A and B are shown apart, each in its own frame.
Chain A
Amino acid sequence: MALNDEGQTNYVTLVSSDGFEFKILRSAACIAPTIKNMLNPATGWQEARENRCIFKDINGIVLEKICEYLYYNEKYENCKDIPDLDIPPELCLELVMAADYLQGMASRRRLAKELVLSAMQFDRLTRFLNTLDLTC
């Protein structure tokens, strides 16, 4: 596997609780602080040595969406007029929890906004906010 300047692989593997594996760019993955810590070469965690992160609390569907988000985030960094990320409403809750677990990603606000937008389509906004205890 190709290595980058610091002697790390360019791709890392994210594994879901149900065994799906996602190989994504390291730079995209490290947007999430938790993943970044895991892969921090200075500490020498198991994940860092194997370039493989296993998430026991996240299932494949959610992890796929997270990967999509990570790429989406990297792609539109420093851009204007960013298109909305399509988030199926039934994933919203789990995504929010995963985001919390992963320390909210780089742009928690944007995720929240997208969640809200997609939630609105289904007229579940009020319930949703209650569930989330969103104190806005």
Chain B
Amino acid sequence: MIAGRGRSKIRPPRRGIHGGEEIDFEQTWKIIASAFNEIHTKNASKLSYEELYRHAYRIVLKKKGEDLYKRVRDFEHDWLTTQVRLRIQDLLSPNLLISSQAIGGTTTNERRFAGEKFMKGLKDAYMDHHVCMGMLADVLMYMDRVYCQDTHRLSIYNSAMILFRDDILNAFSQDGDSISVLELLNHVILEQIRMERDGDVIDKHMIKDCVYMLEGLYEGQMDTAESRLYVASFEGSFLETSRDFYRAESELLLRESDAGAYCRHTRRRIVEEQDRCRSTLAESTTPKIEKVVEDELIKNRIRELIEMESGVRFMIDNDRMEELSLVYELNARVDPKKTELMRAMQKRVVEMGTEVNNAAIAASQAPPPSEGADKGKGPALEKSLNQQTVAAIKWVEDVLQLKDKFDLIWKNAFNSDNALQTALTRSFADFINASSFPRSSEYISLFIDENMKKGIRGKTENEIDMVLEKAIVLLRYVQDKDLFERYYKKHLCRRLLMNKSISNDVEKQMISRMKIELGNNFTMKLEAMFKDMTISEELTSGYKGHVAQLGDADPKRIELAINVLTSMTWPLESMGGSGDEEGKTLKCIFPPAIDRIKRGFEKYYGEKHSGRQLTWLAAMGSADVRAVFPKVPGKEGTQKERRHELNVSTYGMVILLLFNEVSADVSLTFEDIQAQTNIPVSDLVRNLQSLAVAPKTRILVKEPMSKDVKPTDRFSFNAGFMGKFHRIKVGVVSNGNKVESDRERKETEKKNDDSRGFCIEAAVVRIMKQRKELSHQQLVAETLNQLAPQFKPEVTMIKKRIESLIEREYLERIEGAKVDSYRYLA
């Protein structure tokens, strides 16, 4: 039962069991006091601990603890005031005192030596006191444990430390002087630190020892961390002087050095202060002094720093990775969001992006290079190097370059910071979608087009991957994805029909990438286009087999390769020539041979799929024509017919076949040709240009010979045509994908707006069907939300569509609702 109880104190018996002999307090104290004297004068080796301990033990046993405690304290007080204080006062050289009142008058060195001497004396005194009191406390252990605990006194060691504080540190340094030793010590340490900041070498250990002393002493009676003399007396003034120092320094630095140097200096200062806390002061000060440096050198200055002439803008422009990384590091220290840096960076991105935009606009609007210079190359040059298209591709490349540049900075200097990446993305999206630059969708699609047609030739798979990835990266920024889809469809359509793309695989890869990025909906139609192409191939071979079965082995039989396109998925309107209104209604008159084949296929197709109507789009086809040119006396005297295989557009073929019907010297006027073929005027002009004007493919002769085709011009077969190759490709002017003219663009935008209208209506109806009733604000918000992945509709447009839906009684206004609200009508 007793055994189970908690820690119980076993006290000495009350009655004098201990040998019983009475002890004489005064006598015993004398022994102890003289021993203490020995200890203070470092002669403890002759003393027996057991003896002293036994004496103290006995005194306490005899209930004289109180007296003993008092005697010891008096003894220490006496010792400190008579012996130690004098020694300290001896150290106070005039140099030290002068420097404490006014800096100057003495050299730094003199002051430093005086300071070191003073610190050393103080430190030694403290260390002696510390060691001696340790020994005394050991001897008086029993008193501490029994007497001090019972009466709630401070242990003898602690009370001796308080004595040291009061008798030595808080004493005035000299009689009649108002500065205490402690203040003097603080001042000396601060002086030394100041010297070190200015580049002098100081005795760090000495200061550390003094700091150790200050850390071991407390201000009040309580031993809490905050009341350590170091914190209570020294740290505050240290931080204060540091703040002043760095404030002045930052001003000086901003005035006199560039941003990079400032950053480097700041970082060095921070490291220095950290080191100082570790080696000279106390670790607990590290965060505080760091904060001071950060406040003064960074936080209060970061804006000035970033906006300096040699600030972030300069660093970005000159790829100063190291300095940018410093700025990042410093900014991150004081602001986890890096607001200032982010602001500067975004500003620069938008600036540079706008420059790129403006360059593209300027390039596309600049007058084409002088006509005279490239007259020789003529339309061929015009075709491949359309200025606007070049500008478009250059724009994309510039943007990508910009993106690469900032990505590199982000990775190398900004530590791949997430927030900054978001900001970068936002800024890129900002300038790419800027209202002053509406062409980004088209340009990106053109860039892909260019690469599909030429760019990826001879590249490895990895390189192609990179190109595709780049395109996708840009696509991510584009807000109006529907506009991009429209352009992409148009460009893809041309590539497919004219067999311009280098690799079908790459096309498909691109589409699957877009699928990942933008979702199924986006690529559905694009995929359908590919599907049509495959089906068409099957149809072509099927028809070939069908014709072969008919058995009429006409050697002059014309082979047909056909693409059957679903009208909903293909952007046929944008393919139907150059938008001639009447051109769409007009049907080209094919020569009889061709017409027969056409009808044959229609029949074949009608058998396979009943109820489908085929519309022939001659403007998009091409034909291989074998032509025989009469013998001409050649230079080497060869006298044979020349055979060429001409690859021309369908219209070109129709035109050429006309000349089959007439004798070689007859010429046809433009109007004749037009009347006989019914080809839309603009297409006819372009085809005739390429057949009669382009120098390399001049199969027809035009009269009069000029660059433009006029309705009155006459054309005849060029019997003397000379071609270097057997196969000759007759390109049609403006056949490739290029930037739209302003008129075309308006049209595209109009069409786009129309289809947007449908999208909006569909979205509104979907939402209302689900929610039945909804306020106007909510409806608009939800609609915007739903359409966000496709495009960003204008609110006025949404309003209009809602009006129209109300008119058509899909919705109705809720009468008397507080806010405008609608109800869905099933």
Q: Which of B2, B12, B14, B44 contacts A43 (CB 8 A)?
A: B44
Q: Complex formed: what's the CA distance from A46 to B11 in Å?
A: 29
Contact B50 A54 (CB under 8 A): yes
Q: Which of B14, B17, B47, B49 contacts A37 (CB 8 A)?
A: B49
Chain B residue nearest to A36 in the complex (CB): B138
Q: Which of A40, A99, A131, A136 contacts B8 (CB 8 A)?
A: A136
> Which residues does chain A contribute within 8 Å of B134, judged by CB atoms?
42-43
Given the contacts A57-B18, A103-B145, A117-B3, A112 and B10 also touching, CB distance less than 8 Å: yes
Residues of chain A at interface, number, CB under 8 A: 39
CB distance from A66 to the nearest CB of B (A): 14
Contact A57 B8 (CB under 8 A): no
Contact A103 B141 (CB under 8 A): yes
Contact A97 B49 (CB under 8 A): no
Given the contacts A43-B134, A57-B18, A103-B142, A133 and B13 also touching, CB distance less than 8 Å: yes
> Which residues does chain A contribute within 8 Å of B5, judged by CB atoms?
136
Contact B53 A34 (CB under 8 A): yes
Q: Complex formed: what's the CA distance from A48 to B54 in Å?
A: 16
Instruction: Digitize A33-45: 1 where CB-to-B-CB distance is under 8 Å, 0 elsewhere.
Output: 1100110101111
CB distance from A134 to the nearest CB of B (A): 6
B57 in the interface (beta carbon within 8 A): yes
- From residue 419 to 469 of chain B, which have CB atoms closer than 8 A to chain A? none
Q: Which of A40, A57, A131 contacts B54 (CB 8 A)?
A: A57
Q: Which of B12, B45, B50, B145 contacts A55 (CB 8 A)?
A: B50
Instruction: Digitize A2-45: 1 where CB-to-B-CB distance is under 8 Å, 0 elsewhere.
Output: 00000000000000000000000000000001100110101111
Instruction: Digitize B135-177: 1 where CB-to-A-CB distance is under 8 Å, 0 elsewhere.
Output: 1001101100100000000000000000000000000000000
Q: Complex formed: what's the CA distance from A132 to B44 in Å?
A: 36
Q: Which of B10, B142, B145 contacts A132 (CB 8 A)?
A: B10
Given the contacts A34-B141, A97-B18, A133 and B48 also touching, CB distance less than 8 Å: no
> Which residues does chain B contribute within 8 Å of A46, judged by CB atoms?
45-49
Given the contacts A47-B50, A99-B10, A57 and B19 also touching, CB distance less than 8 Å: yes
Given the contacts A46-B49, A53-B50, A113 and B13 also touching, CB distance less than 8 Å: no
Q: Complex formed: what's the CA distance from A33 to B142 in Å?
A: 10
B609 in the interface (beta carbon within 8 A): no
B7 in the interface (beta carbon within 8 A): yes
> Which residues does chain B contribute within 8 Å of A55, judged by CB atoms?
50
> Which residues does chain B contribute within 8 Å of A33, judged by CB atoms?
141
> Which residues does chain A contribute within 8 Å of B18, judged by CB atoms?
57, 97
How many interface residues does chain B have, given as a range?
20 to 34
Given the contacts A33-B141, A34-B141, A136-B2, A104 and B49 also touching, CB distance less than 8 Å: no
A77 in the interface (beta carbon within 8 A): no
Q: Complex formed: what's the CA distance from A52 to B139 in Å?
A: 17
Q: Complex formed: what's the CA distance from A48 to B51 in Å?
A: 13
Contact B8 A133 (CB under 8 A): no
> Which residues does chain B contribute within 8 Å of A44, judged by CB atoms?
44-45
> Which residues does chain B contribute within 8 Å of A53, judged by CB atoms?
50
A135 in the interface (beta carbon within 8 A): yes
A101 in the interface (beta carbon within 8 A): yes
Q: Complex formed: what's the CA distance from A44 to B11 in Å?
A: 30
Q: Complex formed: what's the CA distance from A123 to B571 in Å?
A: 114
Contact A40 B138 (CB under 8 A): yes
A116 in the interface (beta carbon within 8 A): yes
A75 in the interface (beta carbon within 8 A): no
> Which residues does chain B contribute within 8 Å of A134, judged by CB atoms?
2, 8, 10
Contact A108 B7 (CB under 8 A): yes
A100 in the interface (beta carbon within 8 A): yes
Chain B residue nearest to A111 in the complex (CB): B10
Q: Complex formed: what's the CA distance from A94 to B48 in Å?
A: 23
A80 in the interface (beta carbon within 8 A): no
A85 in the interface (beta carbon within 8 A): no
CB distance from A131 to the nearest CB of B (A): 6
Given the contacts A100-B10, A112-B8, A43 and B135 also touching, CB distance less than 8 Å: yes
Contact B44 A101 (CB under 8 A): no
> Which residues does chain A contribute within 8 Å of B9, judged by CB atoms?
135
Contact A116 B49 (CB under 8 A): no
A96 in the interface (beta carbon within 8 A): yes
Contact A43 B50 (CB under 8 A): no
Contact A38 B50 (CB under 8 A): yes
CB distance from A124 to the nearest CB of B (A): 14
A109 in the interface (beta carbon within 8 A): yes
- From residue 10 to 41 of chain B, which have CB atoms closer than 8 A to chain A? 10-14, 17-19
Instruction: Digitize A85-96: 1 where CB-to-B-CB distance is under 8 Å, 0 elsewhere.
Output: 000000001001
Contact B141 A45 (CB under 8 A): no
- From residue 105 to 136 of chain A, which have CB atoms closer than 8 A to chain B? 108-109, 112-113, 116-117, 129, 131-136
> Which residues does chain B contribute within 8 Å of A57, judged by CB atoms?
18-19, 54
Contact B10 A37 (CB under 8 A): no
Instruction: Digitize B322-337: 1 where CB-to-A-CB distance is under 8 Å, 0 elsewhere.
Output: 0000000000000000
CB distance from A118 to the nearest CB of B (A): 12
Q: Complex formed: what's the CA distance from A126 to B768 in Å?
A: 93
Chain A residue nearest to B57 in the complex (CB): A101
Residue among B9, B46, B131 with most chain A CB within 10 A: B9
Q: Complex formed: what's the CA distance from A44 to B141 in Å?
A: 17
Contact A45 B47 (CB under 8 A): yes
> Which residues does chain B contribute within 8 Å of A131, judged by CB atoms?
13
Q: Complex formed: what's the CA distance from A60 to B335 in Å?
A: 73
> Which residues does chain B contribute within 8 Å of A34, judged by CB atoms?
53, 141
Q: Complex formed: what's the CA distance from A96 to B18 in Å?
A: 12
CB distance from B204 to the nearest CB of A (A): 25
Q: Complex formed: what's the CA distance from A135 to B14 in Å?
A: 14
Q: 5 more A-B contacts (CB under 8 A) besides A133-B13, A136-B5?
A: A33-B141, A42-B131, A42-B134, A46-B45, A116-B3
> Which 9 pairs from chain A and chain B are nearest by CB?
A45-B49, A37-B138, A38-B49, A113-B3, A46-B48, A136-B5, A136-B2, A43-B135, A44-B45
Q: Which chain B residues have a beta carbon within 8 Å of chain A's beta carbons?
A: 2-3, 5, 7-14, 17-19, 44-51, 53-54, 57, 131, 134-135, 138-139, 141-142, 145
Q: Which chain A residues have a beta carbon within 8 Å of chain B's beta carbons?
A: 33-34, 37-38, 40, 42-49, 53-57, 93, 96-97, 99-101, 103-104, 108-109, 112-113, 116-117, 129, 131-136
Give 8 pairs: A residue, B residue, CB < 8 Å, sorted on A: A38-B53, A45-B49, A56-B50, A97-B18, A113-B3, A116-B2, A133-B11, A133-B14
